[in-house]
Chains A and B, each alone.
Chain A
Amino acid sequence: MEELFWVLLIGAAVLWTAVIGAAVYAQKRQVDPSLERQARWFIIWGGAVIPTLLVGGLLAWGMVILRDITSDTGDLTVRVDGERWWWRVTYEGPEGDVVTANEIRIPVGQTALFRLTADDVIHSFWVPALGGKMDMIPGRETTLALTPQEVGNWGGLCAEFCGGAHALMRFDAIVMEPGDFEAWLAAEAAPAQVSEDDPGFAVFQEEGCGACHAVRGTDAAGPVGPDLTHVAAREKLGAGVYEMTPQNMALWITETHEMKPDIDMPPYPDLDGARLDALVAFLMSLDHAE
């Protein structure tokens, strides 16, 4: 795709120079009626035939590129479901699906095929640095194939206005070495390590968090909000918006709608200090096993 950009840029520069050059030449040249026939042929070729062929060729080339990025084969398949206003991410692995949220990790040099859909309104999945952007449409599946070339954390976002917190619907798109990615996916697939006598887990259960959030390895299996099995392993909180810190986690629980307006999760302002600390400590412990 970068190639297309350079071809278009250089092509445009050459054409611009030729057109301006011809205009300057026409200004300087004496009027000569005998040249009129030549001029007409020049207009037909330069103004009609060549542009038609060029535009046709570029159209065909653009479609070849589009076909490649919308192809339905990849080394890895990731389903992403656009919710208001976060991303439900499911890796299709050989040993079953691995569900996570709001962070997408893919291996460098391999083609990741994204199968995109949306929960109730149209979103658009976009990682500008990796190229390509695809609408996520409720009741329909669209696909986008990305082949990252460089390791790094490339930001992604929703590119279709989807309501109140649209601007806060972001995610980290992290490109990793294939070995690191395999290790990450295996860690992500593992259930959470939760001890039943964790006081924070007790608060989690008493407050009914598990009705909306799933923590694999416990009986919390709520399908409404983001999966929290390894929430602390993510770099960001609130769909790519805040740093994953205990302070932000506490604010997220108590001042939810100040952190992100209009979202479905209710705030819990009445959680007192000790219980809140325990809950935050529990959530921050939901990291990958060492």
Chain B
Amino acid sequence: MTPLSPDERQWYSRQMALPEIGEAGQARIKAARVLVIGAGGLGSPLLMYLAGAGVGTIGIADFDCVETSNLHRQILHGVDRLDMLKTESAARTLAGLNPHVTVRRHDGPVNADTADRVVAGYTIVADGSDNFPTRDAVHAACLRARIPLVSAGAQMTSGTLTTHKAYEGPPHPCFRCLYPEAPAAGLAPSCAEIGVLGPAVGALGALQATEVLREILGIGPGLSGTLMMYDAWSCDLQAVALPCRTGCPACGGIPQPPVTGGNRPTSSVADSTCVPST
């Protein structure tokens, strides 16, 4: 583990003053390699807090470009970044936040074909992507590679957060214990006109960053087996037990291929789930 430099000791002094962190904890944070899937509404606070905390290596995977409808919630990006790849914009923001952090960009889609390659070498993966096929492919890759997956999802004014480490066997539930089937096309909230509250998704991204730090530091039991549910309009945060699903093949310790092919459109025009609201 690389020791902290005097500059880093000064940089993180307020964080190292926490009894759970100290110099040893800060060195663990520095040694961590965390991959964040999605540089959007969840990924923004997540990446910024991880960079601020001094996570030594941060990977950013995204394949979209910044546009104006992102800016109310995706605080990594600004008007000077419009039409720029989100990975590039995010890397610039993080470099500006903390020069001690090494940022690795993964431009391009994360799907069943690419997920194993993208997650390789990371100690923790945090998924803040916006669609089921990507989540499924990322989870399958993390399960195979035995990497803890801190997963958050947000929509409108609420969201969920949990951690998957089903490679440790029962009682750790996997992604497919939570979602045994891919959602029906008509239910998949991929349409752009669904509203989303910036600070609601931001709160979940900040909670997700906290969970990543807890995993790095080994503080508390972690969220494997617990599903946190947050609702912004009622300021409500609940913990729900998330057991293994009986008969779930992934929990038997047999890595399964993802149930879907990864992040690619499978719908034809006829199947498109978006209905124009005219």
Q: Do A and B come from one complex?
A: no
Q: Which A residues are within 8 Å of any B CB, using their own CB?
A: none
